[in-house]
Structure formats: C-alpha cells, structure tokens
Structure 1
Amino acid sequence: MPQDATNPDGTDAGNLSPDALKELLLEMGGPDQDLPSERQLSSDLNVPRSRLRRVLAELRAKGDLPPAQVGRKSHRRDNSHIDDLVSVANPTDVIELRMILEPQFARLAAIRASGNEIKRIQRHAESRKGEDYGAADLAFHRELAGASRNPLAQELYDLLRQVGTDSRVRLARTGPPCPKRRAERDKEHQQIGQAVADRDPDRAEALMRAHLVNVRRVIENRMQTFTAADPAEMTRQ
C-alpha cells in the first residue's frame, strides 16, 4: 500500500477524519462518475479496507453513493444456487417476477430516493453513445432498486438479472438491438426517472409497470421467432 497517498488538497488521505474521508469519497463518486474498486481506493487513499468499507456502507445506506457494482466479489453468488434456478426458469418466469417486484421498487424510490440517487437514476435513464444495450438497461433498473432503500430489493433484482442473462435462459438475439426500440426504452426510462424526481409514487409505479409490459411483449415476440426457427431448442423451457 503506498505510504504517500494524498487527497486532492495534498494532505495525507490516510490521516483524514471520518467526515473528511466521507467528503473525499463523495467528491470522487459524484452523480456523473463511478468510484474505483475498494482495493483501488484503499491503495490510492492509503486507508485500511475495513475502515473504507464502514464509510462506504454508511454513504450507500444514505443514498449518497451508488450501490457496489454488480460483478465484484461482494456480489458474486454461489453458482450451484444459480444453476438450480436456471434449470427450472425460462425468460417469461423472469419477466413475470420483475413485473411483480419492480413497480413497487419504483414506487418506493419516488418516496425514499436521495437527491444523489435521483441524479444517478436520471443519468442512467438515457443510454450513452457506444454503451452496451444490456448494460445501460441494467444500470438504470439497478439504480432504481437501490433507491427503494430496501436492502433486499437490490439483492432480488441482481439475482433475477443474473438468472435472466444466463446463456441457458437468455434468448439469443437474431440481430443487433433495434434503434427504434432502444429510443422507446430510453424514453420510458426517462419518464420513470422524472416521476421519481417529482416524488410521484403512483406515476412511477404505473410507468414502470407499462415499461415492463413492453419488455414482456418483446420477449414473447422473440420466443415465438426462436421457437419457429428451432422448436426443439425450447423443449426444456
């Protein structure tokens, strides 16, 4: 671990008070940028990871920082458990459960989200140029789940998406994402984000439900195309 790590004003980051460390992390992880990994932060700031985790957990619980990113060690699940779920699930199972859960996540976010969470939700509502189609969608919905302030919400969402994106469940695309549908999706996301910003839980819930109805329609159309092309591939589902 470097012994000369400093914060932006040149002082030793390792000697910062808890409040000063919080301010530094908030500055580094503002609405328009993502924090590095815990390991990188610990090294760059010369702060023990145990101390860093406590401060990060407090800031995330208050909604001042985004949740830890999917795919990092803290979010990896037992593959045998995922295998069990994948063996009995199909794409319609995943979207069906999302339709039960996510409108309520949006409703709670409209009531509970912090100002920083709202900024992140709105930032992720529009996919950026060159951004992967699925990654943009995941970022938006995950921010909403986190903004519900229910710690189980994001865990359930992550689990659902992990099952839904597994190659054994996910339907292979027959071509690149449709630009028209991408634009429609972004518009739907933006409307949901605005409802959350307006603190309108009824509208946020209704818009999320309507959005997922459209997602389900896309999935059903792709399933029909997939089945017509090779019915044998759908027998296990």
Structure 2
Amino acid sequence: MSLPPLKRSTLGDDVYQSLRAAVLEHTLSPGDRMNIDALARELEVSPTPVREALARLESEGLVRKRPLAGYTVSPLLSRAEFADMFDMRLLLECAAARWAAERATPDQRATLVAEAARTVPPGDDQSWHSAFTTLDAHLHGLVAEAAASPLLVDSITRLHAHLHLHRRYFPYEQTAVTTSEHQRIAAAIDRNDPDEAEAAMRAHLTEARERHLATFEKS
C-alpha cells in the first residue's frame, strides 16, 4: 500500500485527505480493515491524527466502526441499495435545486455558474478521479447550500459518500457530459427558474444513475 504523501503544515487535515483519497481510489478497498497503528506508521504520524481522520470519514459514511473490530472501509452498495440511494437523491436534490433557484443569493448564483464551468483535465487515474469526485461533490454541495436548508445539506452529503466509492469505475469521457449537465442546473438557478432547475437536476441524476450502473457490470 502506498498512501499519498503529506504536507506538514496542516497535519490533521492532511491525514484526513490522504486517507479519504486512499478510500475513494480504492488503494484501501471496500471492506478493508484500517489499523490505526499501521496507518500511523505508513504516514509517519502519531495515532492521534489518524483516529481523528477516521472519525471524520465515519461521519461521512466512507468508513465504518464496529465494537472490537475497529474501522473498515465501507462496502460498495448492492444494486438494490444503489437504486434506493438514487431514489433518495432524486427526492432531495431536485428539491434542493428548486429551492436554490428561489432562495440563492446573488453571490451564490455567480459561484454556481463559475464552478459549473470548471473541468477536470485528463491525467493518471488517481489524479483525475480524485479531482472529478471533489468537483462534483462541491457543485452539488453548493446547490444544497443555496437551498438554505442545513438539514438538506447534511442528508445530501451522506448520500454522496456512498456514490464516491463507486466512482473508481467512472470513465473519464463521461466527465464532459457531467459538466454540461451541471451547467444547465447552474444556469437555471442563476435565472431564478425553479421549474427548470428542478427539471435539470432530475435529468442529470437520471443520466448519472445510468452511467454509474457500469459499476455493477464490472463487479
């Protein structure tokens, strides 16, 4: 196992980011045990920031903690669980897009448009997968925040954690399609058009569900 190197300036955050990247890129695979002492040795840190990082990852749903068994990487969803997750995303995120179009501040609208225009450059698997996951989660998070509902933000964030584990199988050529769909959502929110924003989010999530079903064909 080779984890990403750390920057010493913000050790706690760096440990968290390193472990999160290892989980999302399947350097630490779904179901793998995560031994705190072993991870600390690998990262050349004390066990304390590792424990803190694992607690953060647990709160996001990326790892699980069981009595007497310690931490393990959360397993991939079954096909039925995956379908249920997207059903929930359709309920929550379509509402979020509608509310964002109605409630977003001018600064939030401008930020959404700018972020939706960002693209992920090609590169090695680890770099572009990580960048795409971060960018996609950030965009959906901005929509949720613009909806002005903290509870909605928390719910959407936890749902996304499970999707991130499946993104290791996402083909790079689909990122351009995702960007176009994000731009449609952002443009509708910017125009203060709740009907179009909801429709754009629904179309995006419906198409995304089909793209991610490739995960189950590879398993």
Q: TM-score, normalised by structure 1?
A: 0.55
2:184 aligned with 1:185? no
Q: Deviations over 1:10-58 (max 9, x none)?
A: xxxxxxxxxxxxxxxxxxxxxxxxxxx9x9xxxxxxxxxxxxxxxxxxx
1:165 is paired with a residue whose SS is: helix
Identical aligned pairs, as a percentage?
25
Write the letter of the residue equivalent to 1:189. Answer: H
Distance 2:97 2:209 in 1: 18
Q: 2:202 maps to what in 1? A: 209
Flag structure 1 segments of 5+ consecutive residues without an equivalent: 1-36, 40-70, 228-237
User: Which string of whole-angstrom CA distances, capped at 9 and with x for unpartnered residues, describes residues 162-210 of structure 1?
Assistant: 23324xxx2641xx7332x211111111111010010000000011001
Q: Residue 43 of structure 2 corresponds to which residue in structure 1? A: none
Measure how far apart 1:96 and its partner are. Answer: 2.1
What CA distance in whole angstroms lies between the structure 2 residues aligned with 1:128 and 1:74?
28
Q: Residues 86, 111 of structure 1: CA spacing in aligned structure 2 closer, same or farther, 3 A cutoff?
A: farther
Distance 1:74 1:115 in 2: 32
Answer whether contact 1:92 1:219 (CA < 8 A) is retained.
no
> 1:155 — aligned with what?
154
Root mean square deviation, CA, Å: 3.3
Measure how far apart 1:159 and its partner are.
Answer: 0.8
* 1:133 counterpart = 2:132: yes
Query: Structure 2: how far apart are the matches of 1:183 and 1:118?
Result: 21
8 Å Cα contact 2:133/2:167 also seen in 1: no
The TM-score, its normalising length taken from structure 2, stands at 0.59
89-98 or 144-153, larger mean C-alpha shift: 89-98
Identify if the C-alpha distance between structure 1 residues 75 and 194 changes in structure 2 by more than 3 Å, giving closer, same or farther.
Answer: farther
1:121 aligns with one of 104, 112, 126? 112
Structure 2 unaligned residues grouped into runs of 5+: 1-9, 13-52, 122-127
Q: 1:114–1:147: 8 Å Cα contact kept in structure 2?
A: yes
Contact (CA 8 Å) 1:127, 1:133: kept in 2 or not? Answer: no
State which structure, 1 or 2, has the greater radius of gyration over its C-alpha atoms: 1
Number of aligned positions between the proteins = 152
For 1:189 and 1:159, how far apart are their aligned partners in 2?
20
CA distance in 2, matches of 1:221, 1:189: 21
Give the whole-Å Cα distance in 2 for the aligned partners of 1:192 and 1:182.
15
Which amino acid in the other structure matches residue 139 of structure 1? Answer: H
List, as ranges, runs of 4+ consecutive aligned residues in structure 1 with deviation greater than 6 Å: 73-76
